[in-house]
Structure 1
């Protein structure tokens, strides 16, 4: 049998057998080590391939983002060159769509004017689109936060909107669907969510701005053809006026009501002065009501979508005498 046969071996034969066994063990260890090394190389190759793929994907995404940012920046420069964008008091007029914007801001009694605003006609080179934004900063760095958000939000929103439209058309086969308005609103909604998140992240990366103890409101209006999209963060307010069947203006701010704001604008003969007059009346109302706190900064954008035919609102004479 096996074991008895081993005991019959001579000492020399036994030692020779031991040497062969040890040699066999060394060969097996070396063989296993080679296999293990090959497995490690395969794993390393797989890991490097995965990393390379991830880096490639990130690079493509970064390139797409960079290209989108560059394109948006070029559109900003083009709008400024054509005087379709305003970030200071004045007017913006787009003749093709009878759109007119009057803008005015007045510093309060608290020091630096922390209000920032923007009007961009033909938003993103779209003739039927207008972007308006009012940003009321607060805190020691509020004016810088408001300014930075004004710089970031329009171009970021434009990029996200263009990407959302392209993705929607790709998924729907060049067709926005039967409920076009609902689809457009949803596209703007998702674009705003992404934009606000991107702006927040960018503010956190700004070394020269402390956005922890400072911030800003963000009231924006996008007009796309007959669609009006309003997005609001904070206590800034948008007031919409429409004309009733009787020809009266119907309002659809802390010191004056929506109705008063509509009547002030509609009773101003020169629409270029509407925003200025609205701000001045708000200042008068603030003083008249005897506010104990220092007057806040007051800014207004009056955006007209149609020809200005000076409708005479009811009780405008009474309103004027009350505020003056």
Structure 2
């Protein structure tokens, strides 16, 4: 269940994100530090951006610290994303390692800006080339390219940080952009996105939109072995495969892709996101993004049932986190409850009508 065996933070517990968040970093005059400060100034001026517990007109957000120390989870909803009134961005980030809480929050602040900038730039280039507005295929492929470039730039930026340890710390990142009926998702790590949709008998059913990118996947393990990294489980935790250095039983990362974690980047760990696309229909009702603190104790079907049963959309994320915490205490009474973070994005199903398919791009 733990992401990294080297991660137990010694920091004292911080208040939950219902309070004003302290995003300050170590004092530094380096160019990287000034860039981070500039990014913070940018994002805090965006009125449509939300990253604390609460709700917007289309989404519900909630995070709760577990019993392992500082809450290393982060989340965001950004409406009118990319200067497009019909677009929304959502993201969930689960940090790990001694500085995982700083890495996840830094990625939460910077990655959406990078995706937005790439998307706007790519859209302008395509419009100039084609001379007309984009069609669905243009939107999807432009977004895919924007995700790939932004994740690459984000990882390169983390590598340059001198005031946050990104060598032995990192984060997952599952992010989505919804524009109209188009839903594009980028994912690294073991956070997850699922959808609640109506079956033929009108019952709510779960559709998993992303793949948990862990070293138990054969292709992921092959890449790690090819790069001289090692994959094995500890004797006392045989169900969890982890990634280790070639000649050292460290760090024991329980995922095969992440942002940061540069100690493993030459040994098979990568930050390239898997990209998925879905064309929404009138049957699709909501998407849930959540960190593994939720998925370790609740099934996809349980999650969509909980979200669908909440009387008000604004309460959905909190209800799901509280259910996960209860499940932790019931299923693993001797274990420490993990941090949990949830974003629920609800759709207006009016005028959504096309055949639906979720597939990797």
TM-score normalised by the shorter chain: which range applies? 0.5 to 0.7
Residue equivalent to 2:46 = 79
Residue 248 of structure 1, CA deviation: 1.4
Following superposition of structure 1 onto structure 2, how do residues 31-42 of structure 1 map, counting pairs within 5 Å? none
Contact 2:40 2:109 in 1 (8 A): no
Task: State the 1:271 CA deviation.
Answer: 1.8
What is aligned with 1:137?
A: 95
Q: Shift of residue 202 of structure 1? A: 1.2
Distance change (3 Å), C-alpha of 1:75 and 1:209:
closer
Q: CA deviation at 1:244?
A: 2.4
Residues 85-234 of structure 1 aligned to structure 2 (within 5 Å): 85-93=49-57, 100-176=58-134, 180-234=135-189
Give me the whole-angstrom Cα distance separating, in 1, the residues matched to 2:187 and 2:114. 16
Q: How big is each residue's C-alpha offset from its partner over 1:187-241, in whole Å with a ceiling of 9 and x where there is no partner?
A: 1111111101111111122210110100000011111111011111100001111
Structure 2: distance between partners of 1:75 and 1:249: 39
The answer to whether structure 1 residue 275 and structure 2 residue 317 are counterparts is yes
The answer to whether the 8 Å contact 1:129/1:223 transfers is yes
Give the CA deviation at 1:246.
2.4
Q: d(CA) in 2 for partners of 1:75 and 1:166?
A: 22
Greater radius of gyration (CA): 1
Distance (whole Å) between structure 2 residues aligned to residue 256 and residue 173 of structure 1: 49
Distance change >3 Å, CA 295–CA 187, structure 1 → 2: same
Aligned to 2:338: 296
Distance 1:142 1:293 in 2: 20
Is residue 43–residue 109 contact of structure 2 (8 Å, CA) maintained in 1? no
Q: Which residue of 2 aligns with 1:33?
A: none
Give CA-to-partner distance per residue, 1:120-169, whole Å, 9 cap, x none: 11113311100001110000000000111011111111010111111122
**What does the per-residue CA deviation read over 1:260-287, in whole Å, with 9 as the maximum and x for residues that have no partner?**
1011011111221111010010111111
CA contact (8 A) 2:82 2:117 kept: no
Q: CA deviation at 1:174?
A: 2.3
Q: TM-score when scaled to structure 2?
A: 0.59
**Separation in 2, partners of 1:75, 1:306:** 30
Q: Select the structure with the greater relative contact order (CA < 8 A; seq sep ≥ 6).
A: 2
Corresponding residue for residue 20 of structure 1: none
Q: Is the 8 A contact 1:85 1:92 kept in 2?
A: no
Q: Which residue is 2:286 aligned to?
A: none
Deviation at 1:250, TM superposition (A): 1.5
In the alignment, structure 2 segments of 5+ residues that lack a partner are 1-37, 208-294, 351-361
1:260 is aligned to 302
Instruction: Find the residue that maps to 2:192 and give its secondary structure.
Output: coil
> Is there any run of 5+ residues in structure 1 with no aligned partner, and where?
1-69, 94-99, 309-324
Change (3 A) 1:139 1:74: closer
Q: 1:127 to 1:74 in 2, by over 3 A?
A: farther
